[in-house]
């Protein structure tokens, strides 16, 4: 296989899926190498094109996806600081390609807020998640309930029981309406914790 073939977006996309398989099957070393290959390959192509502003949307979008998937892998391995840094990069690429109101941009903004909390930065987490929740509500995104639960969990971390209850109650209503049992269960758990915080 020639160099051009291994540099193609199609090849990188297959490599990215393979890295994800390695990650889910308990082979972190090969997963890490696979994600790094995808990111490095796309970065070379972006640089050769003259930077992000000059790169085509497919190449830039695939770079952002590779960075996002790698960040999720690192998050699963509790490498939160690096995952947060990469998620911020993926969000910037997604906004450049599709705009701030693209569904994936909103999801990445929410992911970044969750990572802020995991890194101990609850105030920034709340700001990002509030922004993500507003956008998700305006766009009527299915992810809204999950974002609201995440915001509720941040409020719990901040000791703000009333705000946590408000956010998680809204998430519960939304999840029930959409038949999203996972988000519904998360909202139930959040509401229990908010009640305990209030009575404590």
pLDDT at residue 162, rounded to an integer: 94
Q: What is the pLDDT averaged over residues 10-19?
A: 97
Q: How far apart are the first and last CA of the chain?
A: 65
Confidence of residue 87 (pLDDT cuts 50, 70, 90): very high
Assess whether pLDDT exceeds 90 at residue 198: no
pLDDT for the residue 4: 64
106, two tokens: 């909103």
E-strand stretches of 14-145: none
Q: What pLDDT is recorded for position 199?
A: 82
CA 90, CA 65: separation in Å to the nearest integer? 7
Q: Return the ∠ at Cα 110 (arms to 109 and 114), rounded to 5°.
A: 120
Question: How confident is the model over 109-119, as a mean pLDDT?
Answer: 97
Q: Which domains does the chain have, with CATH numbers?
A: 1-94 (no CATH), 99-200 (1.25.40.10)
Question: Over the chain, what is the mean pLDDT?
Answer: 94
Burial (CB count within 10 angstroms: exposed 0-12, middle 13-18, buried 19+), residue 188: middle
- pLDDT tens digits, one per residue of 118-136: 999 999 999 999 999 999 9
Q: What percent of the chain has pLDDT over 70?
A: 98
Q: Which two tokens stand for residue 1?
A: 């296989």
pLDDT at 3 over 60: no
Token pair in block for residue 67: 């960075």
Provide the whole-model pTM: 0.90
Closest by CA to 66, choosing from 41, 47, 44, 48, is: 41
Please state, in angstroms and rounded to a whole number, the distance separating the CA atoms of residues 85 and 91.
10
Name the DSSP class of 8: S
């Amino acid at each position: 296989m020639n160099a051009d073939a291994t540099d193609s977006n199609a090849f990188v996309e297959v490599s990215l899926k393979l890295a994800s398989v390695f990650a889910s099957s308990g082979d972190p070393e090969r997963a890490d190498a696979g994600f790094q290959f995808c990111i490095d390959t796309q970065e070379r192509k972006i640089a050769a094109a003259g930077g992000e502003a000059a790169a085509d949307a497919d190449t830039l979008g695939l770079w952002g996806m590779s960075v996002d998937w790698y960040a999720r892998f690192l998050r699963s391995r509790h490498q939160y600081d690096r995952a947060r840094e990469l998620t911020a990069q993926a969000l910037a690429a997604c906004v450049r390609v599709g705009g701030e109101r693209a569904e994936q941009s909103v999801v990445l903004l929410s992911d970044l807020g969750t990572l802020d909390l995991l890194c101990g930065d609850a105030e920034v987490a709340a700001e990002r998640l509030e922004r993500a929740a507003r956008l998700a509500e305006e766009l009527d995104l299915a992810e809204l309930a999950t974002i609201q639960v995440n915001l509720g969990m941040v409020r719990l971390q901040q000791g703000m029981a009333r705000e946590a209850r408000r956010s998680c109650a809204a998430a519960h209503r939304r999840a029930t309406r959409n038949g999203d049992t996972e988000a519904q269960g998360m909202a139930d758990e959040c509401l229990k914790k908010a009640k305990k915080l209030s009575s404590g």
